[in-house]
Structure 1
Amino acid sequence: MDATVPDTARGLAVRSFVGAAIAPYLDDLARLRIAVFRDWPYLYDGDAGYEALYLRTYLQSPRSIAVLAFDGDRVIGASTGLPLADESEAFLTPFAHASVEPREVFYCGESVLLPSYRGRGIGHRFFDEREAHARGFGDYAWTAFCAVERDAADPRRPAFHRGNEAFWHKRGYRPRPELRVSLPWREVGQGEVGHSLGFWLRPLERSR
């Protein structure tokens, strides 16, 4: 599926691709993840090899989605999602003793957007499209995502950095402190480091 929705900003468009239709855009997804996640708070020192392995999960899930933002033919932003049940074991383990069933959760992966295109409402569109996609199946009770947890006193934190917590709250998401993921990745200037990520959940209204 390729659903094209014109953006209000001139020259921009948002398109959604599902399952195997994501394949032609894997290089764009990898490029954006490596570029955007290099900054705070992820400080990710990415490489194409890891990205190819990570993104393959989306091709293997028939319900996965990639929402891409285009400026002309250029992909300048991307947002992904897939059923939590299709994610790796690291994301399923926190739910082993939780009241939420993983099969009822649609997991929203990354949202990455080049800095010069921020503040135009594209972030909201990314959530709108993924939530609508999940709602369309009629069997998910929640949408969720993970956010890396950093020490507010970390000296690497940019002086004027503003987190996304207020934006997430406006979207109806709430942190679930009992649901945490431990993931290692290679950090800029540090090598491989373990990280803690916390889940945020939002009840998903059923389709009528």
Structure 2
Amino acid sequence: MTALRLVTVTGEALRPHLADVARLRIAVFREWPYLYDGDAVYEERYLARYPAAPGAAVVLAFDGKRVVGASTCLPLVEEGDTVKAPFLAAGWDVGRVFYFGESVLLPEYRGRGAGVGFFTAREAHARRFPGIDTAAFCAVARDPTDPRRPAAYVPLDAFWRKRGYTPSPELACTMRWKEIGGSEEMPHRLTFWLKPLSPEAA
């Protein structure tokens, strides 16, 4: 089994890879719990910020020359108001926080260490920036009794806790997307998980 190669890419070097990241987001987020009916136009607009945003990076997973996974991050100050708002409302200095956007990996490559590698690489990147002491990401909150939930689905909570993240349910935001089989965008609640990146933040 070929080992996956993880590469952290920033700035203009990201542009040739954005179509691959869009493809992965559309494919992986169709799965539970997101059920995202991907839109190529939205993906192009969403991902275009990463080459331009100061401090942004994408960790790419390669199988040979093929991109099979991607994981994004950027300083929270560079994120949109939807993501920043709960932190500002809770009195946070958003300049202290690095936001981890998403990790997407094709199913056949899971269980080979890429998930751990994505977090390790993003945390290493975030620690390069003075004043950053906290990593944060958010995940969609679904009703565990939802009949669409696959019987074999295993939540990632234990994996995230093992990486040192803890849930902060008081921090939540709402994002809108169209679900598979739906006709229009719907609101979805996402809650945040946090990890201190320095002893001072613990």
Global fold match (TM > 0.5): yes
1:25 aligns with 2:17: yes
Question: Which amino acid letter does the alignment assign opposite residue 103 of structure 2?
Answer: S
Distance apart, 1:13 and its partner CA: 1.0
Aligned-residue CA RMSD in angstroms? 1.2
Distance apart, 1:12 and its partner CA: 2.4
For residues 136-173 of structure 1, what are the alpha-carbon distances to aligned partners after superposition, in whole Å with 9 as ceiling and x for unaligned?
12320100001000000000000010010000001111
Query: 1:148 maps to which residue?
Result: 140
Normalised TM-score (structure 1): 0.92
Distance in 2 (CA, whole Å) between partners of 1:97 and 1:188 is 32
Distance in 2 (CA, whole Å) between partners of 1:77 and 1:92 is 26
For residues 116-136 of structure 1, what are the alpha-carbon distances to aligned partners after superposition, in whole Å with 9 as ceiling and x for unaligned?
000011100000000000001
Question: Which amino acid letter does the alignment assign opposite residue 29 of structure 1?
Answer: V
From 13, 34, 38, give the equivalent of 2:26: 34
Distance apart, 1:59 and its partner CA: 2.0
Distance in 2 (CA, whole Å) between partners of 1:73 and 1:170 is 31
Distance apart, 1:101 and its partner CA: 1.4
Secondary structure of the equivalent of 1:49?
helix
Query: 1:66 maps to which residue?
Result: 58
Question: Which amino acid letter does the alignment assign opposite residue 164 of structure 2?
Answer: G
Distance in 1 (CA, whole Å) between partners of 2:181 and 2:14 is 32
Query: 2:196 maps to which residue?
Result: 203
Distance in 2 (CA, whole Å) between partners of 1:78 and 1:156 is 26
Normalised TM-score (structure 2): 0.95
Distance apart, 1:62 and its partner CA: 2.3
Distance in 1 (CA, whole Å) between partners of 2:132 and 2:111 is 30
From 107, 111, 114, give the equivalent of 1:119: 111
Distance apart, 1:99 and its partner CA: 4.0
Greater share of residues in strand: 1
Distance in 1 (CA, whole Å) between partners of 2:87 and 2:48 is 23
From 176, 185, 193, give the equivalent of 2:186: 193
Distance apart, 1:96 and its partner CA: 2.1
Distance apart, 1:48 and its partner CA: 1.0
Moved more, 135-144 or 36-45: 135-144
Distance in 1 (CA, whole Å) between partners of 2:46 and 2:142 is 23
Alignment of 1:103-118 (within 5 A): 103-118=95-110
Distance apart, 1:47 and its partner CA: 1.5
Secondary structure of the equivalent of 2:195?
strand
Distance apart, 1:205 and its partner CA: 2.0
Question: Which amino acid letter does the alignment assign opposite residue 170 of structure 1?
Answer: K
Runs (4 or more) in structure 1 with deviation over 6 Å come to none
Distance in 1 (CA, whole Å) between partners of 2:100 and 2:3 is 26
